[in-house]
Amino acid sequence: MSAQSFERFEEGKKKFESNESARTFERWSSPHTHPGGSVIRLMVQKLRVLTLFVVRRIAAGQGRAAALSRLSALAGSAGGKNALVIASGPSAARLNAAAVAKAQKAGELIVVATNHFLDSVLAKTITPDFLLWSDSIFHPRRRAENSSWDTVKNYPSTMIVVPWTWRHHIPGDVAPQVIFFDDDTLETWSHNISPLKPRGYQGTTGAKALALAIHLGPASIYVLGLDLSYFKNFTVDVDNRVWRNPTHLAGTDSGNQDLTHNTVSGLADSLYATANQFFYLRTLFSGYRVVNLDPGSLVDAFPKVSEHPLVKARRTGVTKK
């Protein structure tokens, strides 16, 4: 199968979802909507995941192993070092950027960042070793809508980690910086977190970045910005539309988002999808040497520290006389 086959699959999916009845079924059968205790609906959701996986694999064709070879070679490459995963949550603002850059320069720390990190104030001091993109807005076909592919050329030492199905669209001027990972999903069927295989968890970019860091095999992994606190900014308007309001680190947020089109049962589905993300972090990622640098984080999957050199000192609220 050729690249055109996968493109036809993606276009066919869009046409399918353009039909109102089809969109309703798509939402109803999604593993990210609340099944309401229905065994039949749970079975349909699981079958949907498996069916789409098989169709995507056929449509994507050959070339997967070759595309993933660079990432495969990096397994364990961070041995003897620590890794820092910087996700887009607001707690990332507490990073001690100078300390992070110093540890990087000393060869003690590998930094994995996500999404619009290069547009944040932290990028003035920290140059990530790896930057993971998987949201559709970062697809090279949408380069005219997103300046990130142009921005990254100013960071030649940063490796861009993107889905292997994008391989035929990568701009030639940044191709040497690109590493591919498997962004396919077998959620509800697999417990895998390796970026070399279909994941078994709901695919937030922060979780994918953490999976990449684990693949690199560092001595310890520190995380900050993996907050999953955006649900606290959910609102429901007068028409009962569910909105996600800005919650990310300044410069990295995509603005107000109408989530209603992803739901069948409104806010209940949005909260259910968020709960799944907490669940997968706790059940699939908690067995690794991961430390959460945000002591106030809602994520309860990892041990936390109240102080760390890579984080600014917390204000106690006590004024010295």
Q: Residue ranges of the alpha helices (H) in the chain? A: 3-17, 20-28, 39-60, 64-67, 69-73, 97-105, 148-151, 205-216, 267-280
Q: What CA–CA distance (Å, rounded) separates 117 from 62? A: 32
Q: What CA–CA distance (Å, rounded) separates 310 from 84? A: 9
Give residue 146's pLDDT.
Answer: 85
Q: What CA–CA distance (Å, rounded) separates 68 from 184? A: 13
Q: What CA–CA distance (Å, rounded) separates 184 from 194? A: 11
Q: What CA–CA distance (Å, rounded) separates 83 from 117? A: 16
**Which regions of the chain are under pLDDT 50?**
1, 318-321
Give residue 1's pLDDT.
Answer: 46
Long-range contacts of 239-245 (CB under 8 A, 24+ apart): 240/266, 242/266, 242/267, 242/270, 244/270
Give residue 145's pLDDT.
Answer: 87
Instruction: Check: CB of residue 85 under 8 Å from CB of residue 209.
Output: yes
Q: Which residue has the tokens 């300046």?
A: 147
Q: Residue 93's closest CA among 114, 71, 119, 121?
A: 121
pTM of the model: 0.90
